[in-house]
Amino acid sequence: MSQEALLSLRQELRKCFRSLEASRTVWGSALEECSPLLSSLGNLAEQLRALKCVELLNTPLAKFPDLQERLQHKLTQAADTVLSKLTEKMDALQVVKDSISKQVFALFQLYEQNSDFLDLRSCVARSAISPSIADMLEWLQDAEYYYRVQYVQRSSLLQMLKPDDLTLMETAPKRWASLDSPSREERISDALFQVSFFLESE
């Protein structure tokens, strides 16, 4: 019985790690698409600020009627477009996050169901080709937490943006970039490397 449970758990773990690997690439590409959008958002904010500061009547452009309002409208509209694109990307990120969460949660459910048959000693046992079940569970939980927090942080950053607060908008690209946490990312890739033999040993 315990052998069976162990086998099914290992199978599930493999599945989980494979999907994590896939999700990771999706996440990375979605994130990459976001950064140009954010820099353009920052750029637009800068333009808006410049527009606010300049006295158009003192320039040769004074001939054009309502130039200030028109430009303002144009820029705000552009910012809106960028934001809506970003929201789309965020939706993509959320899908990735949700799928990881779901998988990991299901895995923990499975472990809990079978935990009566699983000896703790066998769960913490490591071998040359496969890490222990406890380690793998831990890595998956860490990865799930990482993606969840990343999503929360990024979405709350976007939520905080207001059209009237230009400084917040200007600094958005920088703060977006500062949310990257390479060390945590690295730990996930480390974990994936460590399970590579385990994944192949089907």
Partner 1 sequence: MDLTVLPPDLVDAGTQRCRLGPAVMEELRLKIGSPLLVLLPQGACLCTAWPRSDLADGYLQFQTTCTTPKLSVQMFPQPSGGKDTHDELNVNTAKLHLQRSQLKPLTCPHLKRLRVKVLVQSSQQKMTTSTRFIQELAKELLTGLYVHEKHLVNVAGAGTLVQFLEVENVNSGSHKAGLVTAETRLDLGSVQTVQRYQQPARRSPAVPLGGVEEVFASLKEMLEVPLRYPGSLKWLGLPCPRGALLVGPPGVGKTQLVRNVVQAVGAAFVTINGPVVMGSRPGESEENLRRAFAQAREAALEGPCVLFIDEIDALCPRRSASGSAPENRIVAQLLTLMDGIGSDESFIIIAATNQPDALDPALRRPGRFDREVVVGVPTLQQRFRILQSVSHSVPLSSSVNLRVLAEMTTGYVGADLSALCREAALQAILHTAQGRTEEMDGEGGSVGMEHFLSALRLVPPSCLRSSVGVSDFLPVSWERIGGLEDVKLKLKQSIEWPMKFPEALVRMGVRGPRGVLLYGPPGCAKTTLVKAAASASHCSFLTLSGAQLYSPYVGDSERTLAQLFRQARACSPSIVFLDEIDSMVGSRGDGGCRSGVQAQVLSVLLNELDGVGFKTTERRGSSKTMQTEGEEQETIQEKRMELQEVCNKDVMIVAATNRPDALDSALLRPGRLDHIIYVPPPEQQARLAILQLHTEKMPLDSDVNLKDLATQTHLFSGADLESLCKEAALLALQEEGMSVSTVQHQHFLKALQRVSPSLTAHQLLQYQLLFSSTLSCS
138 lines the binding site for partner 1 (CB under 8 A): yes
- Judged by CB under 8 A, the number of residues near partner 1 is 32
55 lines the binding site for partner 1 (CB under 8 A): no
Q: Which amino acid is at 164?
A: D
Q: Which of 147, 174, 169, 152 lies closest to 52, judged by CA?
A: 169
Binding test (CB under 8 A) with partner 1, winner from 92, 95, 108, 198: 108
What's the token pair of residue 36? 């140009």
DSSP letters spanning 164-192: T-HHHHHTHHHHHHHT--HHHHHHHHHHH
Which residue lies nearer to partner 1 by CB, 40 or 184?
Answer: 184
Tell me the CA distances in angstroms from 86 to 91, 96, 196, one per residue in order. Answer: 9, 15, 34
167 lines the binding site for partner 1 (CB under 8 A): no
Q: How many Å apart are CA 91 and CA 25, to the nearest integer?
A: 16
Binding test (CB under 8 A) with partner 1, winner from 142, 161, 170, 194: 142
105 lines the binding site for partner 1 (CB under 8 A): yes
Give the three-state DSSP class for 75: helix
Report, in Å, the least distance between residue 57 CB and partner 1. 34
**Structural Rg of the chain based on CA atoms:** 24
Binding test (CB under 8 A) with partner 1, winner from 64, 117, 145, 197: 145
85 lines the binding site for partner 1 (CB under 8 A): no
Give the three-state DSSP class for 116: coil
Binding test (CB under 8 A) with partner 1, winner from 31, 37, 137, 169: 137
Q: How many Å apart are CA 98 and CA 190, to the nearest integer?
A: 22
151 lines the binding site for partner 1 (CB under 8 A): yes
Note the residues at the interface with partner 1 (CB under 8 A). Answer: 101-102, 105, 108, 111-112, 115, 118, 120-121, 123-124, 133-135, 137-138, 141-142, 144-145, 148-149, 151-153, 156, 159-160, 162, 179, 187
